[in-house]
């Protein structure tokens, strides 16, 4: 027998096994009225109501529904209310600038767009049939009794979400993740991080970012309370862990640094001592940060590695019994590697040092970009664009990046996109955008610029970019140069430009 693996399974299980458990605690401090708390029975009913509402709007199976929102219970509900009945959820990065959002909405062909009240102005600037402000949701969750039309032919290979991600091109690409991709990513993730029905999950990671790495699905299936955090803040994270008895959270290394800073100022015992597991990915975490998580927080540190295109789970690194007798620093060193392949994942490093993977979580394709899809999957392996090695214990170590991407605070920034924005300024003749190491953000977006000799300042250039790009993509460091290193054929030699900034670093990514 084969039963299609769809994201409906997660909410259906929660409703049948844990109907009376609290599903979420919504962010109390947000512009819309917080929802709930709802039980899983109520969450399932509201997801049905949302699906029924989309029926009324005549959004077909396969139709795209975009949500532009910080973490919120409404976005969490949409993971099921939209994809659960065969439509495609497009969760959009709320930090993006208006032209970036316009591109994504247009490219995805969304029929419906929901936006957080703080972002509602963007709705007037979109060419979309149905737009709604989250919170003014009499319509979104029309009536609890509403029954949607069943998805006639549930298909595990149908696209469930499209996640736009910045890569090596000037425009972001839409990563098509199928129900099967998401299902297997979420359950395999749950297996390796031992998600049980006794967990309490804190949504520190943005849900739009590769669907919160699968947590909205697996925590729902296990009937766990999900505490929604709208804005990352170290002290607030500690406070919520304390208040709600949180056992698990995920985040980029920059988030962990914020928590460590807040812990240093914290009065009294650190919340979640010997209870919390923190899963870290997005950039290579420094060994020292890993050691501090054990020493100063007494939380378990787990690292995973992957990309939006791989749903994301490829490798996992969790302390194993063989390391029990090691001292803290030795264990931290071993944990600083990206990890070993998760169940069902195959990883190799090709002759050029690129990490490549095969797994059931690897994307179906880039939405309406068959050429980019063929390149990414060339030879039957997914090309990560990351440079690394597999060490003699079989652990993947990410040491380098083949692709022209900067990772700042765990978010990808395409160098080309920032270069394009800067080149649009009349005083800019040449530009190279590179990542430079930074203690807090991992990498800083750094622009090396040759001007036409006019008196343009850093502030002018940043203000110019701000109209086109999200805040986290703006150049944080600008240096003016007389010329930029190029090859004989005129190609920028970025490795030469990066060299002075990275020369004291063992790894060429941070
Ligand atoms: P994204 O698609 O935005 O999730 O970004 C994926 C990229 O983040 C990967 O290609 C890597 O460059 C980087 N990344 C993710 N996890 C790790 C990790 N554990 N160590 C090093 N780099 C990572």
pLDDT tens digits, one per residue of 394-430: 999 998 888 889 999 988 999 988 998 999 899 999 9
What does pTM read for this prediction? 0.92
484 CA to centre of ligand 1 in angstroms? 28
Ligand 1 mutation pick, 207, 280, 307, max ligand atoms within 8 A of CB: 307
Q: Is the pLDDT of residue 92 over 80?
A: yes
Residue nearest to atom 10 of ligand 1 (CA): 307
256's enclosing H/E stretch is: helix 253-265
Q: What is the pLDDT of residues 443-463, one digit of tens each?
A: 999 999 999 999 999 999 999
Tokens representing 428? 């800019």
| CA–centroid distance, residue 463 to ligand 1 (Å) | 29
Q: Spell 275-311 as b/e; 16+ CB within 10 A means b.
A: ebbbbbbbbbbbbebbbbbbeebebbbbbbbbbbbbb
Residue 302 has pLDDT above 80, yes or no: yes
pLDDT at 143: 66
Domains delineated in the chain: 1-5+7-20+33-178 (3.40.50.12780), 346-400 (2.30.38.10), 406-502 (3.30.300.30)
Compute, in angstroms, the gap from residue 236 CA to the centroid of ligand 1: 26
Q: Which of 285, 275, 287, 284 is nearest to 247 (CA)?
A: 275
Q: What percent of the chain has pLDDT over 70?
A: 98
Residue 139, pLDDT > 80, answer no
* Ligand 1: residue whose CA is nearest its atom 20: 284
- Residue 111 predicted with pLDDT over 80: yes
What is the rounded average pLDDT for all residues in the chain? 95
- Residues in the ligand 1 pocket, defined by CB under 6 Å: 165, 210, 281-284, 303, 305, 307-308, 312, 338, 384-386, 398, 401, 407, 412
Residue closest via CA to ligand 1's atom 22 equals 283
Using 50, 70 and 90 to split pLDDT, how confident is the model at 142? Answer: low
Q: Looking at ligand 1, which residue's alpha carbon is closest to its atom 3? A: 412
Nearest residue CA, atom 15 of ligand 1? 282
User: What pLDDT, in 10s, does the model give residues 227-238?
Assistant: 999 999 999 999
More confident residue, 145 or 112: 112
Mean pLDDT of 190-203: 98
Q: Quote helix, strand, coil % in the chain, to nearest 5.
A: 35, 25, 40
Q: Report how far ligand 1's centroid is from the alpha carbon of 398 (Å).
A: 9
Q: 262 near 235, Cβ under 8 Å?
A: yes
Largest CA distance in the chain: 71
Closest C-alpha to ligand 1, atom 12 = 386
| Residue whose CA lies nearest to ligand 1 atom number 19 | 305
Q: What's the pLDDT score for residue 244?
A: 98
Ligand 1 centroid – CA 245 distance (Å): 29
Residue 223 pLDDT level (bands cut at 50, 70, 90): very high
- The pLDDT of 255-261, averaged and rounded, is 95
495 token code pair: 């490795």
Average pLDDT over residues 306-335: 97
With the most atoms of ligand 1 within 8 angstroms of its CB, the residue from 96, 281, 383 to mutate is: 281
Q: How many A from CA of 157 to the centre of ligand 1?
A: 25
Cα 307 to ligand 1 centre (Å)? 6
Taking the C-alpha atoms of residue 42 and residue 476, their distance in angstroms, rounded to an integer, is 45
3-state secondary structure of 53: helix
Q: Ligand 1: which of 286, 312, 404, 407 to mutate, judged by most atoms within 8 Å of the beta carbon?
A: 407
Provide the pLDDT confidence category of residue 510 given band limits of 50, 70 and 90: confident
């Amino acid at each position: 027998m084969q039963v299609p693996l769809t994201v409906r399974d997660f909410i259906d299980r929660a409703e049948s096994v844990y109907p009376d458990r609290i599903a979420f605690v919504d962010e109390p401090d947000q512009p819309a009225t917080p929802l709930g708390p709802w039980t899983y029975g109520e969450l399932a009913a509201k997801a049905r109501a949302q699906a029924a509402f989309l029926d009324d709007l005549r959004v077909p199976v396969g139709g795209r529904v975009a949500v532009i929102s910080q973490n919120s219970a409404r976005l969490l509900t949409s993971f099921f209310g939209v994809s659960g009945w065969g439509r495609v959820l497009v969760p959009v990065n709320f930090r993006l600038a208006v032209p970036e959002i316009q591109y994504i909405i247009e490219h995805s062909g969304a029929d419906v767009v929901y936006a957080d009240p703080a972002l509602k102005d963007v709705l007037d600037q979109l060419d979309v049939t149905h737009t709604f402000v989250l919170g003014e949701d009499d319509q979104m969750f029309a009536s609890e009794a509403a029954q949607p039309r069943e998805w006639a032919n549930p298909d595990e290979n149908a696209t469930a979400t499209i996640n736009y991600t910045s890569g090596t091109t000037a425009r972001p690409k839409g990563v098509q993740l199928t129900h099967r991709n998401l299902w297997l990513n979420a359950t395999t993730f749950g297996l390796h991080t031992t998600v049980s029905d006794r967990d309490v999950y804190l949504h520190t990671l943005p849900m739009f970012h590769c669907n919160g790495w699968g947590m909205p699905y697996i925590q729902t299936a296990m009937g766990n309370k999900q505490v929604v955090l709208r804005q990352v803040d170290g002290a607030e994270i500690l406070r919520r862990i304390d208040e709600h008895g949180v056992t698990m959270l995920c985040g980029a290394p920059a988030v962990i640094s914020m928590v460590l800073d807040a812990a240093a100022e914290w009065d009294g015992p650190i919340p979640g001592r010997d209870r919390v597991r923190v899963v870290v990915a997005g950039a290579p975490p420094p060994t020292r940060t890993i050691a501090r998580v054990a020493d100063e927080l007494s939380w378990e540190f787990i690292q995973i590695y992957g990309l939006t295109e791989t749903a994301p789970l490829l490798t996992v690194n969790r302390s194993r019994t063989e390391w029990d007798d090691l001292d803290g620093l030795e264990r931290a060193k071993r944990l600083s590697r990206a990890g070993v392949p998760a169940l069902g994942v195959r990883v190799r490093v090709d002759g050029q040092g690129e990490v490549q993977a095969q797994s059931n979580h690897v994307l179906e394709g880039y939405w309406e970009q068959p050429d980019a899809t063929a390149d990414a999957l060339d030879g039957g392996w997914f090309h990560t664009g990351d440079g690394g090695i597999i060490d003699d214990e079989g652990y993947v170590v990410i040491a380098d990046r083949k692709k022209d991407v900067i990772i700042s605070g765990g978010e990808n920034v395409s160098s080309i996109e920032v270069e394009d924005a800067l080149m649009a300024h009349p005083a800019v003749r040449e530009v190279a955008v590179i990542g430079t190491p930074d203690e807090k953000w991992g990498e800083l977006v750094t622009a090396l610029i040759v001007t036409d000799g006019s008196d343009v300042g850093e502030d002018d250039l940043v203000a110019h970019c701000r109209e086109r790009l999200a805040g986290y993509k703006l150049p944080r460091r600008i240096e003016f140069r007389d010329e930029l290193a190029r090859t004989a054929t005129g190609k920028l030699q970025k490795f030469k430009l990066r060299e002075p900034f990275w020369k004291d670093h063992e790894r060429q990514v941070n």
